[in-house]
């Protein structure tokens, strides 16, 4: 075989080495999920996870590459042939084929039973290894709407809408969207100018007018829309939450007019539009005064968890692509994985991916526990602060991990039809901006910290976990993590007591540390569980690398004679 043929045959070998099932190939997912939800809860859905893992790695992966081509993107057809406004978004047939597989996985129908958010999260994570899928955002929005209606919807909403939103049959199902953002600024929802006017004689029914600037999954059957009832106070206090059906009972548009679809950096297969509401009929969700709270606490928190799991899915895919590649591709007569610099990048990708999935599944399982105990999750300080911080850290890490993956694939990493990595890379800044860009969330965390020391809930949980770790192998790591925690806590306290502008300047650094401490405590907890079960696991090495690189201040790998060996242990399966 000549050199050219040999090079190409290695690429063929790479393609053949990629997993055919994203679930079966992901030991960390299966173990962490079993640890967080318990084997009894997991057993009935194992077959669903297996099926979704195979579909995601196979037909869905192929369809997502096809759908992202410019000629296959969704397009708007606002009028029909006889001049009536129809506001149709037209999709490539593969869009619906993927949707059928995603919906039949029961990723949404599972939410009909309380306590299934962690299982929903695991399924969604498998799908998002293809990025936006293109049903990642629709699944997250529909999940948020389901939970909001379960929480405070009227009897007829539960009767009429819930069964459709929970239907696993894609061709019958209804799906949801959520529209807050207006052109004058998305973060400042209190500046919303959309207006709601009551419809006389129809309690709970309103007419919504105004403009929304970013409307993803714009063709959804039901959209949760923020609007200010006429005469209501300014700021977020006066914001109500309404569910607006896309169509009237006779099939005509319900005063929801799409101006145009946006041309985006990433998530291009998902239609995101600018929309005019012109006296659209909307139905009040919950009491008017609790609208903003339900939107943020139920719907946006669900989407923030969705962004985190989506980022984890992308990190996992980037690792899979790069790891399989590095094991077969050769340069200078060596396989890439033999180069220490490549090994270190791969180890970092793996550690960040593990940490993200661990914190995301922890929070999903926490939501389940709170719901089953009859507590509203958003009233729990650990859940509230945890979801926000986790969305930040996972989406930041997602960009870095995909970037590493592209680098490991070299020039090939930048080529659209060579691997999914360019597409996944373009998705990451969009994920980061969704449901609050980082600085906006930092402002929220700072407000919560100043008002009620909410950050203590996260640090307290990390401390409890660390105190519970007893395994002799982990003692030294536990103590170093605990020292970092004590340091982080005292810095946080100092900053909060100081000048508010300085606090706003430093909050991101503090939150970053806090997120890492939280993640390492979860990794150590899982490691102890694996060690107790006496099974081979890369987790002790992953936890150690993570602790050294991201938690302990002043760690210098150059001063650590065991660093190369540690990197090797992280990469061992």
Residues that bind ligand FAD (CB under 6 A): 178-181, 185-187, 214-216, 264, 267, 272, 430, 433-437, 439-440, 443
Least distance to ligand FAD from the beta carbon of 211, Å?
A: 12
Shortest Cβ 134–ligand FAD spacing (Å): 12
**Smallest gap from residue 504 Cβ to ligand FAD (A):** 7
Q: In 373-474, which ranges are continuous DSSP H helix?
A: 381-408, 421-433, 438-452, 455-467
Q: Which residues contact 279 (CB under 8 A, 6 or more apart)?
A: 207, 208, 209, 255
d(CA 232, CA 319): 50
Please identify, using beta-carbon distances, which residue of 68 and 528 lies nearer to ligand FAD. Answer: 68
According to the 3-state scheme, what is the secondary structure of 468-481?
A: CCCCHHHHHHHHHH
For the chain, count helices (H), then strands (E): 21, 11
> Closest CB to ligand FAD belongs to which residue?
186
Could you give the 3-state DSSP secondary structure of residue 142?
Answer: helix
CB nearer to ligand FAD: pick between 76 and 482:
76
CA distances to 44, 228, 356, 543 from 284, rounded to whole Å, are 37, 11, 36, 47
For residue 139, what are the CA distances in angstroms to 80, 118, 128, 172, 271? 29, 14, 11, 15, 14
* Cβ pair 194, 226 in contact under 8 A: yes
| Closer of 308 and 543 to ligand FAD (Cβ) | 308
- For ligand FAD, give the closer residue by CB, 118 or 270: 270
| Partners of residue 334 on adjacent β-strands | 331
Would you say 116 or 216 has its CB closer to ligand FAD? Answer: 216
Pairing between strand 272-284 and 256-261?
A: antiparallel
The partner residues of 244 in beta bridges, in order of sequence, read 223
3 state SS of 212: strand
C-alpha span between 244 and 494 (Å, rounded): 46
- To ligand FAD, the closest distance from the beta carbon of 204 in angstroms equals 23
Rounded to a whole number of angstroms, the minimum distance from the CB of residue 35 to ligand FAD is: 32
Q: What angle do CA 180, 186, 188 make, to 5 degrees?
A: 100
Closest distance to ligand FAD from the beta carbon of 180 (Å): 4
Q: How far is the CB of 18 from ligand FAD (least distance, A)?
A: 28
Which residue, 186 or 538, has its beta carbon nearer to ligand FAD? 186
CB of 226 to ligand FAD, least distance (A): 8
Provide, rounded to whole angstroms, the least separation between the CB of residue 207 and ligand FAD.
Answer: 20
Residue 445 or 539: the one with the smaller Cβ distance to ligand FAD is: 445
402 or 542: whose CB is closer to ligand FAD? 402
Which one, 45 or 137, has the nearer CB to ligand FAD?
A: 137
């Amino acid at each position: 075989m000549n050199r050219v043929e040999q090079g190409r045959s290695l690429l063929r070998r790479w393609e053949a080495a990629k997993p055919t099932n994203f679930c079966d190939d992901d030991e960390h997912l299966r173990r962490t999920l079993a640890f967080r939800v318990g084997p009894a809860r997991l057993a009935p859905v194992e077959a669903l996870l297996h099926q979704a893992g195979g579909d995601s790695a196979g037909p869905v992966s192929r369809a997502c590459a096809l759908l992202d081509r410019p000629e296959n993107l969704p397009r708007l057809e606002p009028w029909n042939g006889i001049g009536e406004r129809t506001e149709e978004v037209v999709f490539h047939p593969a869009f619906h084929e993927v949707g059928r597989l995603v919906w039949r996985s029961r990723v949404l129908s599972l939410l009909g039973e309380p306590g299934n958010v962690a299982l929903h999260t695991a399924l969604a994570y498998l799908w998002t290894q293809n990025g936006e899928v293109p049903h990642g955002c629709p699944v997250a929005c529909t999940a948020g709407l389901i939970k909001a209606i379960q929480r405070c919807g009227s009897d007829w909403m539960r009767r009429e809408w819930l069964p459709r939103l929970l239907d696993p049959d894609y061709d019958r199902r209804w799906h949801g969207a959520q529209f807050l953002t207006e052109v004058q600024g998305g973060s400042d929802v209190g500046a919303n100018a959309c207006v709601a006017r009551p419809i006389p004689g129809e309690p709970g029914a309103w007419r919504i007018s105004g403009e929304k600037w970013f409307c993803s999954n714009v063709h959804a059957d039901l959209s949760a829309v923020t609007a200010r009832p006429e005469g209501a106070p300014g700021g977020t206090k006066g914001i109500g939450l309404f569910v607006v059906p896309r169509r009237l009972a006779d099939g005509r548009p319900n005063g929801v007019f799409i101006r145009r679809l946006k041309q985006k950096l990433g998530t291009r297969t998902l239609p995101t539009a600018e929309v005019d509401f012109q006296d659209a009929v909307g139905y009040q969700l919950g009491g008017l005064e609790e609208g903003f709270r339900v939107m943020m606490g139920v719907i946006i928190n669900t989407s923030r968890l969705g962004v985190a799991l989506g980022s984890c899915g992308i990190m996992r895919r980037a690792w899979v692509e790069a790891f399989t590649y590095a094991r077969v591709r050769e340069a200078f007569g060596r396989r890439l994985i033999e180069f220490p610099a490549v090994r270190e990048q791969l180890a970092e990708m793996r550690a960040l991916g593990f940490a993200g999935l661990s914190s995301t599944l922890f929070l999903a399982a926490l939501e389940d526990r709170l719901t089953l105990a009859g507590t509203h999750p958003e009233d729990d300080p650990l859940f509230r602060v945890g979801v926000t911080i986790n969305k930040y850290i996972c989406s930041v890490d997602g960009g870095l991990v995909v970037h590493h993956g592209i680098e490991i694939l070299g020039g090939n990493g930048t080529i659209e039809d060579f691997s999914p990595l360019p597409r996944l890379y373009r998705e990451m800044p969009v994920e980061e901006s969704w449901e609050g860009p980082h600085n906006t969330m930092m402002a929220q965390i700072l407000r919560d910290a100043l008002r009620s020391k909410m950050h203590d809930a996260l640090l307290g949980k990390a401390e409890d976990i660390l105190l519970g770790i007893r395994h002799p192998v982990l003692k030294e790591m536990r103590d170093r993590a605990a020292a970092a925690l004590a340091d982080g806590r005292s810095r946080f306290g100092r900053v909060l007591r100081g000048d508010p502008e300085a606090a706003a300047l430093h909050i991101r650094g503090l939150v970053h540390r806090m997120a890492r401490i939280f993640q390492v405590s979860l990794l150590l907890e899982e490691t102890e569980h694996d060690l107790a079960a006496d099974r081979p696991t890369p987790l002790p090495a992953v936890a150690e690398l993570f602790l050294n690189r991201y938690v302990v201040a002043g760690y210098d790998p150059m001063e650590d004679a065991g660093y190369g060996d540690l990197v090797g242990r992280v990469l061992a399966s």
